[in-house]
């Protein structure tokens, strides 16, 4: 009855996250636990060499995901969802959404998955003395300027996917500091875009068709816990075309999926971190001190509170594994064996758990898209082996699981060995860990430390942004985000921790030797079109 009364009185909190394969909506009550959810499946498309999602599908997915949430509320509790106490929007970080002064999209959405901005990323890294990855919004903008693209002269506003959806619903062109840190470097003291780098960008683009100051086109940063706008009448109709959901709901700052992942795993204090693994995989390590050098393999972003975070981001994780599972499904179906999707994955991961620690010399590359860490401009999924490799189903399956974390390990080794960044706990979440055996143990071996899964880890970023919305309306206004999470949300959370096995560490080390040797073949394949 508590949750029913909360929903009926408009006291629930809602979060929606635009992930790479799913747009998920979550509703939480007074106890902060997910009480209802809804989802819409989608995936990016490679069109004319650019990974993108159509603008119309963004609108469609928003409406459909929220409609599914409303339906779940009705079916579970017998009441209609008509209002909420707070709302939050999250989405994949980075990318490029550029609009003119009338709010018209100038070019199709360029997502984080693209590796088409190498020239701009290299130049800005050199000029800023700060690593600018290819997927960052500022790299996309500068590359468009360098390319003399026709739309550049008409740019009035550049934002991320979360910032765009938030502006649709509230009319506010704002962003949370974490998502902003994937647009442009942040000054940790001022908690705003770095002023010197912004001025340098203006110098670099002076006399070009861009013709504006960078600060005039970027979204305004709003700090965690502050209100970032309210649901407008137009936004309410877009969200719920039936007219059943009321305008006026306050919104927290829109955030990136990396920040909602940190929130959903309570890893926002120094020497903690989390790994999110799905279509992409990335590790977020909250630093206790600045890095000594600039590393192209390591991004510097922030927590939702603005603390510095070292991010090792890989464009590729589970896509190739999923493709192989789907292929095996076709073989099994042809043989008359019908298995559900969960049964297929349980079978696959069960095989992987029985594979040899070094996969018998079978090496897999999961590169569906380009990968900055290994200097690949395009993706080429690849499997290779020696003639005498133990080519068994178990070893092959384990090799595919290894491939999901191999590139991450290359980046994390720089952070932990060269920079000696401290790590006390790593939390893992995302689709890769729906089957924790053997993926949790393999990740522990790759990172060289214990890996913890929370019972709530499967809730993901939609729950994380709902928690940030709940923080905005917290009763104790003096409480920091870390105090709110530790004291009110995660105080009694169930956890399971796995420590790395020595055999896995040794086997993965042997696997990585061959993996690094074979990268030259990957690069040769990308040159042969």
| Res 424: pLDDT | 79
Place of tokens 């133990």: 390
Strand partners, 175: 221
32-64: pLDDT as tens digits: 999 999 999 999 999 889 999 999 999 999 999
Query: Which residue, 303, 296, 310, 277, is CA-closest to 179?
Result: 303
Mean pLDDT estimate for the chain: 95
Q: Strands 50-52 and 86-91: what pairing?
A: unpaired
| Res 377: pLDDT | 85
Residue 92: strand, helix, or coil: coil
Query: Which residue, 314, 328, 347, is CA-closest to 443?
Result: 314
Place of tokens 């969802």: 81
Length of the chain as a residue count: 529
Low-confidence ranges of the chain (pLDDT < 50): none
Structure tokens at 398: 């384990």
Q: Give the pTM.
A: 0.84
275 close to 498: Cβ distance less than 8 angstroms: no
Q: What distance, in Å, lies between the first and last C-alpha atoms of the chain?
A: 62
| Residue 147: DSSP 8-state | T
In three state form, how does the secondary structure of 271-320 look?
CEEEEEECCCEEEEEECCCCCCCCCCCCEEEECCCCCEEEEEEECCCCHH
How far apart CA 56 and CA 314 sit, in angstroms, is 28
378 close to 369: Cβ distance less than 8 angstroms: yes
Peptide bond into 382 cis (omega under 30): no
Residue 250: strand, helix, or coil: strand
Query: Which residue, 64, 60, 185, 47, is CA-closest to 116?
Result: 47
| Res 457: pLDDT | 62
Neighbours of 517 (CB within 10 A): 10
Cα 25 from chain centre: 16
Q: Strands 272-277 and 281-286: what pairing?
A: antiparallel
| Res 72: pLDDT | 98
Neighbours of 438 (CB within 10 A): 24
179 close to 255: Cβ distance less than 8 angstroms: yes
| Residue 418: DSSP 8-state | I
């Amino acid at each position: 009855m508590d949750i029913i009364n909360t929903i009926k009185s408009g006291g629930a909190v809602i979060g929606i996250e635009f992930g790479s394969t799913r747009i998920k909506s979550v509703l939480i009550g007074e106890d902060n636990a997910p009480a209802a959810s809804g989802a819409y499946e989608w995936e990016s498309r490679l069109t004319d060499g650019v990974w993108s999602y159509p603008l119309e599908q963004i609108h469609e997915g928003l409406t459909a995901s929220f409609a599914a949430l409303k339906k779940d509320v009705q079916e579970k509790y017998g009441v209609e969802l008509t209002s909420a106490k707070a709302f939050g929007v999250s989405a994949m970080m980075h990318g490029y959404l550029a609009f003119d002064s009338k709010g018209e999209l100038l070019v199709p959405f360029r997502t984080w998955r693209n590796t088409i901005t190498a020239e701009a990323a290299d130049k800005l890294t050199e000029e800023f003395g700060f690593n600018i990855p290819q997927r960052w919004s500022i790299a996309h903008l500068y590359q468009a300027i360098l390319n003399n693209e026709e739309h550049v002269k008409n740019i009035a506003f550049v934002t991320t996917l979360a910032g765009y959806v938030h502006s649709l619903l509230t009319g506010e062109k704002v962003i949370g500091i974490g998502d902003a840190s994937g647009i442009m470097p942040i000054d940790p003291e001022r908690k705003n875009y770095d002023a010197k780098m912004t001025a340098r960008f203006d110098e670099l683009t002076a006399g070009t068709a861009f013709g504006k100051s960078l600060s005039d086109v970027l979204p305004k940063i709003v700090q965690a816990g502050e209100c970032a706008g309210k649901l407008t009448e137009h936004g309410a109709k877009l969200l719920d075309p039936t007219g059943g959901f009321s305008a006026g709901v306050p919104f927290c700052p829109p955030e990136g999926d990396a920040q909602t992942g940190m929130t959903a795993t309570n890893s926002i204090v120094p020497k903690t971190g989390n790994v999110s693994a799905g279509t992409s995989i990335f590790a977020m390590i909250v630093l206790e001190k600045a890095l000594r050098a600039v590393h192209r393999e390591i991004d510097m972003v922030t927590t939702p509170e603005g603390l510095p975070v070292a991010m090792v981001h890989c464009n590729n994780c589970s896509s190739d594994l999923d493709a192989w599972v789907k292929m095996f499904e076709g073989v099994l179906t042809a043989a008359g064996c019908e298995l559900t999707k969960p049964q297929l994955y349980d079978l696959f991961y069960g095989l992987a758990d029985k594979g040899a620690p070094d996969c018998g010399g079978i090496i897999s590359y999961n590169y569906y898209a380009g990968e900055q860490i290994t200097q690949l401009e395009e993706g080429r999924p690849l499997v290779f082996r020696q003639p005498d490799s133990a080519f068994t189903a178990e070893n092959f399956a384990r090799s595919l699981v290894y491939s999901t974390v191999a590139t991450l390990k290359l980046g994390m080794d720089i952070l932990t060995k060269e920079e000696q960044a401290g790590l006390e706990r790593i939390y893992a979440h995302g689709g890769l860990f729906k089957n924790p055996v053997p993926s949790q143990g393999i990740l522990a071996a790759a990172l060289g430390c214990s890996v913890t899964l929370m019972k709530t880890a499967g809730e993901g970023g939609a729950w994380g942004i709902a928690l940030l919305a709940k923080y905005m309306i917290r009763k104790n206004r003096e409480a920091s985000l870390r105090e709110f999470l530790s004291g009110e949300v995660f105080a009694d959370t169930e956890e399971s921790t796995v420590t790395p096995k020595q055999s896995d560490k040794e086997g993965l080390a042997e696997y990585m030797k061959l993996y690094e040797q074979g990268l030259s073949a990957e690069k040769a394949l990308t040159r042969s079109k």
